């Protein structure tokens, strides 16, 4: 009796069966296929025909790759079910623990009048009693946050300009720490601020309590000052002075910055990146204008088409890769997120690219007046009179009433790409996200209509561009993208 069976015993049968997969045209010659386990491949038109017509040869390289990525199977499918379940669970791990990002809108007062502002800002000298978060609302909001099932939460302070309510921010940090002593959650503190009024004393407090700083830098002086005018003028000079203060206190620049793209920004893709590098920053998140709140009206003056934004994005991305090749490490954050979704088995925390949607399920916003929203975007809609997504009020509603009421049910009805028209069979869907709030704002209902959905069009174009860079870029480009993927 032979110790080992012959090789022929381990050869797949000539026939195979298809696993569920999604299909989209990638180019004239190729199709993109993907599945719910995060696997994807580009197939030529001929290879796709061979696949669906059961004409693949079991010994071919294409057959083996398709099988290893769970697009086909032969034999007993139940043998691999545990692996598939584990992959799917890992991809959807972000949903475990429910809301992890808790945004506290501390004030509506602001010392800027940004051209793209999405909320009805009040002047910095407006009545604090009317437009700042009260002690009662603050304490109750913290109690709601600490009831969240997740043992790791981020407490993010926003405005208006959050530094104008700094005493309340300090109170919030100390109170959250005190209340958390017997609960034991890991709390990450982040303050979103334009930094123009920050002091050494403020930074000492942030350093002592490990408060991370998120700010805005739209580019060089002329562009930043145009987009983000402030009382007293020259917002660029003020924010750069604050950058220097942070360097002085922390040794390295321990903050992140965001830029928002206006029509004027489109003229300066390289100059914006050069400014970030000059200021010692190592990454940028290229953001388009949001269609929410008061920014929708401003878009008539400072807006652009989706195609114009995509051209701008690609120019910036190409330039970022170019400077990396010159030895300057720099990352475009959105590309990094897409790469992690394409190339790793892990879930990501970026709510705009989540399915089920991160709206409400991974984000909670506590407004200065006690109202609770499932995202910052839904609060912006409320500022212009549409309170569709208001979950309730911390002063009158319990945790259960807030998170199991009709607004959350509405969000849940359109939360899954896997169950949405056109998304359910789109090959880009596993790397995209469901956005019911945006779709209600731009298309009139939470499901939306994909052929006229600019969010869908933009994301597909960016994902396609990143796949092209990965597959067709030189070795140096791939090495750069690998660094971004690893974070």
Q: Looking at the structure, do residues 86 and 104 belong to the same domain, yes or no?
A: no
Res 198 pLDDT > 60: yes
Q: Answer yes or no: do 130 and 186 share one domain.
A: yes
Cis peptide bond N-terminal to 424, omega within 30: no
How many CA within 13 A on the CB side of residue 222? 5
What is the sign, positive or negative, of the torsion defined by CA atoms of 368, 215, 310, 330? negative
Same domain? For 211 and 231 the reply is yes
- Same domain assignment for residues 41 and 162: no
Give the dihedral of Cα atoms 362, 367, 373, 379; nearest 10 deg: -110
Given this model, what pLDDT does residue 285 score? 95
pLDDT digits (tens, 9 = 90+) for 222-261: 999 999 998 888 999 999 999 999 988 876 657 789 999 9
pTM reported for the whole predicted model: 0.93
Residue 281 lies in a domain: no
> What kind and span of H or E run contains 284?
strand 283-284
Looking at the domain assignment, is residue 374 inside a domain? yes
In whole angstroms, give the CA distance from residue 277 to residue 261.
Answer: 18
Q: Cβ(130)–Cβ(163) under 8 Å?
A: no
Instruction: Give the number of other Cβ atoms within 10 Å of residue 465's Cβ.
Output: 17
302 with 263: CB under 8 angstroms?
A: yes
Q: Let me know if residue 427 belongs to a domain.
A: no
Whether 230 and 354 map to the same domain: the answer is yes
The pLDDT tens digits for 276-292 are: 999 999 999 999 988 76
Cα first-last separation, the chain: 54
In a domain, 433, yes or no: no
Give the residue-averaged pLDDT of 69-94: 89
**In the listed set 72, 91, 110, which residue is the last one of a domain according to the structure?**
91
Does residue 175 lie within any of the structural domains? yes
What are the CB-based long-range contacts (under 8 Å, 24+) for 85-91? Answer: 87/37, 87/38, 87/345, 88/36, 88/37, 90/345, 90/346, 90/347, 91/36, 91/37, 91/38, 91/345, 91/346, 91/347, 91/430
Smallest CA-to-CA distance from 378 within 394, 391, 369, 361 is with: 391
User: With bands split at pLDDT 50, 70 and 90, how would you rate the model's confidence at 483?
Assistant: very high
357 and 373 belong to one structural domain = yes
* 148 inside domain: yes
Same domain, 68 and 211: no
List the domain range (segments joined by +) for residue 128.
94-260+288-302+348-393
Helices (H), 187-268: 200-208, 221-227, 235-250
Q: What percent of the chain has pLDDT over 70?
A: 95
Mark whether 86 and 227 lie in a shared domain. Answer: no
Q: How many domains does the chain have?
A: 2
Q: What does the pLDDT average to over 373-380?
A: 94
Whether 122 and 247 share a structural domain: yes
CA distance 105 to 292: 17
Provide φ and ψ at 255, rounded to 5°.
Answer: -155, 165
Q: Are the beta carbons of 439 and 421 closer than 8 angstroms?
A: no
> What is the CATH classification number for the domain harbouring 211?
3.20.20.70
Domain boundary among 91, 109, 129: 91
Do 86 and 100 fall within a single domain? no
Gyration radius of the chain over CA positions: 25
Q: Is residue 150 part of a domain?
A: yes
DSSP H helices, 147-212, are: 166-180, 200-208
Phi, psi angle pair for 66, to nearest 5°: -60, -40
In a domain, 280, yes or no: no
210 and 122: one domain?
yes
Q: What is the pLDDT of residues 310-367, one digit of tens each?
A: 999 999 999 999 999 999 999 999 999 999 999 999 999 899 999 999 999 999 999 9
Residue 219 sits in the same domain as residue 71: no
Q: Which of 35, 68, 91 is the last residue of a domain?
A: 91
> Look-up: residue for tokens 């004393």?
201
């Amino acid at each position: 009796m032979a110790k080992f069976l012959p090789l022929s015993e381990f050869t797949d049968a000539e026939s195979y069966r298809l696993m569920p997969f999604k299909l989209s045209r990638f180019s004239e010659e190729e199709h993109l296929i993907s599945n719910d386990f995060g696997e994807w491949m580009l197939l030529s038109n001929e290879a796709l025909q061979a696949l669906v017509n059961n004409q693949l040869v079991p010994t071919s390289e294409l057959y083996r790759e398709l099988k290893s990525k769970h697009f086909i199977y032969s034999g007993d499918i139940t043998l691999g079910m545990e692996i598939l379940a584990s992959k799917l669970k890992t991809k959807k791990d972000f949903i475990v623990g429910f809301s992890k990002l808790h945004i506290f809108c501390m004030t509506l007062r602001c010392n800027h009048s940004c051209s793209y502002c999405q909320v009805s800002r009040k002047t910095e000298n407006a009545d604090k009693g009317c437009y700042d978060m009260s002690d009662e609302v603050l304490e109750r909001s913290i109690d709601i946050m600490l009831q969240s099932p997740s043992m790791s939460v981020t407490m993010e302070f926003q405005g208006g300009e959050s530094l104008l309510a700094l005493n309340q921010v300090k109170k919030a940090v100390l109170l959250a720490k005190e209340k958390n002593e017997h609960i034991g959650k890991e709390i990450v503190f982040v303050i979103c601020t334009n930094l123009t009024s920050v002091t050494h004393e403020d930074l000492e407090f942030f350093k002592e309590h490990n408060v991370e700083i998120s700010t805005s830098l739209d580019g060089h002086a002329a562009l930043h000052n145009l987009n983000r005018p402030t009382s007293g003028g020259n917002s660029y000079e003020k924010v750069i002075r604050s950058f220097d203060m942070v360097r002085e206190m922390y040794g390295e620049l321990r903050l992140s910055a965001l830029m928002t793209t206006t029509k004027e920004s489109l003229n300066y893709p390289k100059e914006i990146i050069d400014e970030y590098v000059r200021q010692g920053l190592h990454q940028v998140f290229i953001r388009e204008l949001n269609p929410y709140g008061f920014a929708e009206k401003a878009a008539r003056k400072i807006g652009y088409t989706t195609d114009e934004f995509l051209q701008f994005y690609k120019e910036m991305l190409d330039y970022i890769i170019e400077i990396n090749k010159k030895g300057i490490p720099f990352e475009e954050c959105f590309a990094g997120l897409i790469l992690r979704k394409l190339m790793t088995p892990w879930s990501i925390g970026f709510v705009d690219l989540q399915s089920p949607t991160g709206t409400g399920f991974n984000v909670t916003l506590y407004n200065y007046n006690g109202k609770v929203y499932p995202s910052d975007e839904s609060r912006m809609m409320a500022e212009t009179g549409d309170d569709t997504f208001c979950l309730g009020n911390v002063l009158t509603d319990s945790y259960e009433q807030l998170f199991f009421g009709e607004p959350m049910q509405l969000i849940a009805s359109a939360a899954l790409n896997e169950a949405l028209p056109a998304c359910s069979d789109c090959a880009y869907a596993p790397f995209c996200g469901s956005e019911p709030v945006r779709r209600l704002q731009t298309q009139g209902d939470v499901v939306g209509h994909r052929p006229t959905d600019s969010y869908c069009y933009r994301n597909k174009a960016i994902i396609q561009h990143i796949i092209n860079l990965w597959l067709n870029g030189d070795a140096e480009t791939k090495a750069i993208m690998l660094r971004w993927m690893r974070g």
